[in-house]
């Protein structure tokens, strides 16, 4: 890994074994983009990559050079309104009404490792040798505003992390109208754009399309990253698949309003922008003030989508998630939500916990309904003390009793919200986000607390620190169940109202930071009506997140498969729930529910007391299987094999780091009569190792399993021979493969 500056051409070359990223200072002082892709050998001069050409009807920067138009030049941080008519990365409104700026090169410095981003989640290094950071400083001579472009190249994998820091060194205030984290101008647009989109209970489905002229964008204006679009896209070549080919993944480490867009211009060049949603953002900078954008992470590979995903998984698992739970296998939990909803007593909870303990569960999680006047959706949010009618011993007492059963105790909270029927709201009605003299819209009868105000965050911190400090709480599920409307704050003046969405998220990060550092042993799981804020920003504070409120195994195949494009298995909260399922009313076999959930953090969300003896025995086996293999399932190398978006079958697998154990999850949606032969070609095995299939006893070499495939066809439908277990819809198997005889 190196960051080299060539003075003769004023060119920067950042490279490691996988990638090269090359930029140059252009004749107008702006930074131009020369190359991004597979590693190139370094050389003194890369100026031949700067393509300019004289085109008719073009606006030019200099009268002396009709070739130099920003419209046709690839740039690092393009501005608005000066010969480039594509969407800019930055827009600066000035007191005189002008929005024109001119960020010119001032200098650069490099440093080992990676600096922290103030108040924001970001990837990090533990050892300075893991990465190197380049800061290029640009300044607008008229306003005095400085833009520092930060580029961190990691030693391992094709990873580049980027962000921008604005430092206002001028004399009059300016307003940032947009301040994107990343601009990436690429020389051609021959890419398939893949996004993870959906809605509540149908999050992160993979949608793909070939890029064409104009703008293709995803984003959120909801105040959270959203169920609708995840802050992540992939640009892959049309020939790229899971196993081979070029792809670039772009991921924004942010949980608020965002936008990621691709703009294809008239000459088929491509501009990618990623950052805070410019529509819902302005930020006033007084002289001396600093604004830091969120971080954007780019991963390049020429080895296919699985390689890109594994790079993201490794980075986000080990250098984004933090704390003692980062590298630890996650406890098998039971959550009472789908078992009881709001209808529970202390006795009922203890019955569920007790049965769970008998089955091998390690953590009991009490979900919504334990606090204030919370008997349903209409009351209680904001009052984080136990409802003593329901829980006579309080949370401390209940936690003791659960621990006495042999389980750890976990608790649900939703700190960002308030019901009007709560003591907190009665005391502080002005603490919700709302616009003067306008109707206040609700979501689930709840209102959003104004986390842009420090006194609000402080109040929640004090309530929650008291709760966590006085009870044996080992786990917190931090929920967030509505989008933000009427986003105005009574705590900020009129000319700072454009900052509230971002300040809100900074407040959420601040509360997370305080609680996770004060209670480092607590495992945090993020949640937002399922997967409404499942993003890298949250992963920095909570190493796992509830993937979706849809817990049906078959729906989860798509959701977890899509999620795996960017996020590691250890981050995916996945539970076995009742059949028929509570969201789609589908009946699925118990083994399939577990076979899907075990490619996640794994837990149960049903009343185990209601199960038959046979089912209880099966659950005990599932839990002991999970305990045996969770290190590999959660921290091994993950590969997608067959897409549930494309076929009647889905498959994925994990391989242990030493390649000696692999677990293949195979799922058939509908059973087939007299069906075709099926097999699945595995990945990530050692071709030399001979793997014993624990189901069939058959031994096959890694190369056979990867090239010829693992045979999954069976005789379980049609005329089922004697002795063969008939198949069923929604069937599944986990194949355990163990290297017996490395040759
Ligand atoms: C959200 C969560 C659920 C559950 C409920 C409780 O919908 O996603 O898992 O916690 O809230 O109200």
d(CA 334, CA 351): 12
pLDDT band, very low/low/confident/very high, at 452 (cuts 50, 70, 90): very high
Q: What are phi and psi of 72, to 5 degrees?
A: -115, 15
Whole-number pLDDT of residue 674? 84
Residues with CB under 6 A from ligand 1: 337, 367-368, 412, 479, 481, 527, 529-530, 546, 549
Counting ligand 1 atoms within 8 A of each CB, the residue from 203, 344, 368, 542 with the most, and so the one to mutate, is 368
Query: Which among 429, 425, 452, 547 has a CA at the least distance from the CA of 508?
Result: 452
**CB-based contact 565:306 (threshold 8 Å):** no
Q: Are strands 104-112 and 333-335 parallel, antiparallel or unpaired?
A: unpaired
How large is the average pLDDT for residues 684-699? 96
Residue nearest to atom 12 of ligand 1 (CA): 368
- Measure 527 CA to ligand 1 centroid, in angstroms: 8
Q: Find residue 22's DSSP bridge partners.
A: 13, 35
How large is the average pLDDT for residues 209-220? 98
d(CA 557, CA 631): 21
What is the per-residue pLDDT across 480-493, written as a single tens digit (0 to 9) for each? 999 999 999 999 99
pLDDT band, very low/low/confident/very high, at 720 (cuts 50, 70, 90): confident
How large is the average pLDDT for residues 487-516? 98
DSSP per residue over 588-599, as a string?
A: --HHHHHHHHTT
Residue nearest to atom 7 of ligand 1 (CA): 529
- Measure 342 CA to ligand 1 centroid, in angstroms: 11
Residue nearest to atom 2 of ligand 1 (CA): 529
d(CA 275, CA 259): 6
What is the per-residue pLDDT across 294-345, written as a single tens digit (0 to 9) for each? 999 999 999 999 999 999 999 999 999 999 999 999 999 999 999 999 999 9
Residue nearest to atom 3 of ligand 1 (CA): 529
pLDDT band, very low/low/confident/very high, at 11 (cuts 50, 70, 90): very high
- Measure 481 CA to ligand 1 centroid, in angstroms: 7
Query: Which among 301, 228, 237 has a CA at the least distance from the CA of 258?
Result: 228
d(CA 163, CA 274): 10
Counting ligand 1 atoms within 8 A of each CB, the residue from 528, 529, 582, 604 with the most, and so the one to mutate, is 529
What six digits make up the tokens of 171? 């004399």
Residues marked active site are found at 479, 549
On average, the pLDDT of the chain sits at 97
Atom of ligand 1 nearest to the CA of 549: 8
H/E segment holding residue 567? none
Superfamily of domain 2-319 in the CATH hierarchy: alpha-galactosidase from lactobacil brevis (2.70.98.60)
What is the per-residue pLDDT across 563-606, written as a single tens digit (0 to 9) for each? 999 999 999 999 999 999 999 999 999 999 999 999 999 999 99
Among 52-66, 393-407, 534-548, where is mean pLDDT lowest?
A: 52-66
Whole-number pLDDT of residue 134? 98
Q: pLDDT exceeding 90 applies to what percent of the chain?
A: 96
Strands (E), 407-548: 408-413, 417-419, 446-448, 475-478, 523-526, 544-546
pLDDT band, very low/low/confident/very high, at 725 (cuts 50, 70, 90): confident
Atom of ligand 1 nearest to the CA of 444: 12
d(CA 290, CA 299): 28
**CB-based contact 56:71 (threshold 8 Å):** no
Whole-number pLDDT of residue 90? 98
d(CA 489, CA 431): 8
Based on the number of CB atoms within 10 Å of its own CB, is 9 exposed (0-12), middle (13-18) or buried (19 or more)? Answer: middle
Give this prediction's pTM: 0.98
pLDDT band, very low/low/confident/very high, at 743 (cuts 50, 70, 90): low
- Measure 412 CA to ligand 1 centroid, in angstroms: 9
SS3 177: strand
pLDDT band, very low/low/confident/very high, at 727 (cuts 50, 70, 90): confident
Whole-number pLDDT of residue 579? 97
- Measure 570 CA to ligand 1 centroid, in angstroms: 20
Whole-number pLDDT of residue 122? 98
d(CA 243, CA 420): 53
Residue nearest to atom 6 of ligand 1 (CA): 368
What six digits make up the tokens of 176? 């940032």
Classify domain 649-742 by CATH architecture.
Sandwich (2.60)
Counting ligand 1 atoms within 8 A of each CB, the residue from 202, 203, 337, 525 with the most, and so the one to mutate, is 337
d(CA 723, CA 576): 29
**CB-based contact 439:399 (threshold 8 Å):** no
Query: Which among 97, 141, 95, 150 has a CA at the least distance from the CA of 120?
Result: 150
**CB-based contact 75:102 (threshold 8 Å):** no
Coarse DSSP helix, strand, coil percentages of the chain, rounded to the nearest 5 percent = 20, 30, 45
Whole-number pLDDT of residue 330? 98
Atom of ligand 1 nearest to the CA of 377: 12
pLDDT at 612 over 70: yes
Q: Where are the domains of the chain?
A: 2-319, 333-635, 649-742
What is the per-residue pLDDT across 630-655, written as a single tens digit (0 to 9) for each? 999 999 999 999 999 999 999 999 99
d(CA 185, CA 7): 23
Query: Which among 274, 279, 260, 90 has a CA at the least distance from the CA of 174?
Result: 90
pLDDT at 417 over 70: yes
Whole-number pLDDT of residue 741? 63
- Measure 712 CA to ligand 1 centroid, in angstroms: 37
Cα angle, residue 88 at apex, residues 84 and 94 outer, rounded to 5°: 100
d(CA 648, CA 680): 13
Query: Which among 572, 574, 571, 658 has a CA at the least distance from the CA of 327?
Result: 571
The CATH class of 333-635 is alpha beta
How large is the average pLDDT for residues 236-245? 98
Whole-number pLDDT of residue 293? 98
Q: Are strands 637-642 and 603-605 parallel, antiparallel or unpaired?
A: unpaired
Q: What are phi and psi of 24, to 5 degrees?
A: -140, 155
d(CA 222, CA 532): 10
- Measure 388 CA to ligand 1 centroid, in angstroms: 22
Counting ligand 1 atoms within 8 A of each CB, the residue from 336, 338, 549 with the most, and so the one to mutate, is 549
pLDDT band, very low/low/confident/very high, at 24 (cuts 50, 70, 90): very high
**Any idea which residue has 């790229």 for tokens?**
240
- Measure 7 CA to ligand 1 centroid, in angstroms: 57
pLDDT at 742 over 60: no
What is the per-residue pLDDT across 420-432, written as a single tens digit (0 to 9) for each? 999 999 999 999 9
Hey, what's the torsion of the CAs at 416, 419, 425, 429, to 10 degrees?
90
Using CA atoms, how far residue 47 sits from 6, 9, 50, 143, in Å, is 11, 7, 6, 30
Residue nearest to atom 11 of ligand 1 (CA): 529
How large is the average pLDDT for residues 514-521? 98
Residue nearest to atom 1 of ligand 1 (CA): 529
How large is the average pLDDT for residues 661-675? 94
SS3 annotation, 309-350:
HHHHHHHHHHHCCCCCCCCCCCCCEEECHHHHCCCCCHHHHH
Whole-number pLDDT of residue 467? 98
**CB-based contact 216:210 (threshold 8 Å):** no
Q: Find residue 739's DSSP bridge partners.
A: 691
**CB-based contact 182:258 (threshold 8 Å):** no
User: Which one-letter DSSP state was computed for residue 279?
Assistant: G
Whole-number pLDDT of residue 629? 98
Whole-number pLDDT of residue 711? 95
- Measure 22 CA to ligand 1 centroid, in angstroms: 46
Atom of ligand 1 nearest to the CA of 412: 10
């Amino acid at each position: 890994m190196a960051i080299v500056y060539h003075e003769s051409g004023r060119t920067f070359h950042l490279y490691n074994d996988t990638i090269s990223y090359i930029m140059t200072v252009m004749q107008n002082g702006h930074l131009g983009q020369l190359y991004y892709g597979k590693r190139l050998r370094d050389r003194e001069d890369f100026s031949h990559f700067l393509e300019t050409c004289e085109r008719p009807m073009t606006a030019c920067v200099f009268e002396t050079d009709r070739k130099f138009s920003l419209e046709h030049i690839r740039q690092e941080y393009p501005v608005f309104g000066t010969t480039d008519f594509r969407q800019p990365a930055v827009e600066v409104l000035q007191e005189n009404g002008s929005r024109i700026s001119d960020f010119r090169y001032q200098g650069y410095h490099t440093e080992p490792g990676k600096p922290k981003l103030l108040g924001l989640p970001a990837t990090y290094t533990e050892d300075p040798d893991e990465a190197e950071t380049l800061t290029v400083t640009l300044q607008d001579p008229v306003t005095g505003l400085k833009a520092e472009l930060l580029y961190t190249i990691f030693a391992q994998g094709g990873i580049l992390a980027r962000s921008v820091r604005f430092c206002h060194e001028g004399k009059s205030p300016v307003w940032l109208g947009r301040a994107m984290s990343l601009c990436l101008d690429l020389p051609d647009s021959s890419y398939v754009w893949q996004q993870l989109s959906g809605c509540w209970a149908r999050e992160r489905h993979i949608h793909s399309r070939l890029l064409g002229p104009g703008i293709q964008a995803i984003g959120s204006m909801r105040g959270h990253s959203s169920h609708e679009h995840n802050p992540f896209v992939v640009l892959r070549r049309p020939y790229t698949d899971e196993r081979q080919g070029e792809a670039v993944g772009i991921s924004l480490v942010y949980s608020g309003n965002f936008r990621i867009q691709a703009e294809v211009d008239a000459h088929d060049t491509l501009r990618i922008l990623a950052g805070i949603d410019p529509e819902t953002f302005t930020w006033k900078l007084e002289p001396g003030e600093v604004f830091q954008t969120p971080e954007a992470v780019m991963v390049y590979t020429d080895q296919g989508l699985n390689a890109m995903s594994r790079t993201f998984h490794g980075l986000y698992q080990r250098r984004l998630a933090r704390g003692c739970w980062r590298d630890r296998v996650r406890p098998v939990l039971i959550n009472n939500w789908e078992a009881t909803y709001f209808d529970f007593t202390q006795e009922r909870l203890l019955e569920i916990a007790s049965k769970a303990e008998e089955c091998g569960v390690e953590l009991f999680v009490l979900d919504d309904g334990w606090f204030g006047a919370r008997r349903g959706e209409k009351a209680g949010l904001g009052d984080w003390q136990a409802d003593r009618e329901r829980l006579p011993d309080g949370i401390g007492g209940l936690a003791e009793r659960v621990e006495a059963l042999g389980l750890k105790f976990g608790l649900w909270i939703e700190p960002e919200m308030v019901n009007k029927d709560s003591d907190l709201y009665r005391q502080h009605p002005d603490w919700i986000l709302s616009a003067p003299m306008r109707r206040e819209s609700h979501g689930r009868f709840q209102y959003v607390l104004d986390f842009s105000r420090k006194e609000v965050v402080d109040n929640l911190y004090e309530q929650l620190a008291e709760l966590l400090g006085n009870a044996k709480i080992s786990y917190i599920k931090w929920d967030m169940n509505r989008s933000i409307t009427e986003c105005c704050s009574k705590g900020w003046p009129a000319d700072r109202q454009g900052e509230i969405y971002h300040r809100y998220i900074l407040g959420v990060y601040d509360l997370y930071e305080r609680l996770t550092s004060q209670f480092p042993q607590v495992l945090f799981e993020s949640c937002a009506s399922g997967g409404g804020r499942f993003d890298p920003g949250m992963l920095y504070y909570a190493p796992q997140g509830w993937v979706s409120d849809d817990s049906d195994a078959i729906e989860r195949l798509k959701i977890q498969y899509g999620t795996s494009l960017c996020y590691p298995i250890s981050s995916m909260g996945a539970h076995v729930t009742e059949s028929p399922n509570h969201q789609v009313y589908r009946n699925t076999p118990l083994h399939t529910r577990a076979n899907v959930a075990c490619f996640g953090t794994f837990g149960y969300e049903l009343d185990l007391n209601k199960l038959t003896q046979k089912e209880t025995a099966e659950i005990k086996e599932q839990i002991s299987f999970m305990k045996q293999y969770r290190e590999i399932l959660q921290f091994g190398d993950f590969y997608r094999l067959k897409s549930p978006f494309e076929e009647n079958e889905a498959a994925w697998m994990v391989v242990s780091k030493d390649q000696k154990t692999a677990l293949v999850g195979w799922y058939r949606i509908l059973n087939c009569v007299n069906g075709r032969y099926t097999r699945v070609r595995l990945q990530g095995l050692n071709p030399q190792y001979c793997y014993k299939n624990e189901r069939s006893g058959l031994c096959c070499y890694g190369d056979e399993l990867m090239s010829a495939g693992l045979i999954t066809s069976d005789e379980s439908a049609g005329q089922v021979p004697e002795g063969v277990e008939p198949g069923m819809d929604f069937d599944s198997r986990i194949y355990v493969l163990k290297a017996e005889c490395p040759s």
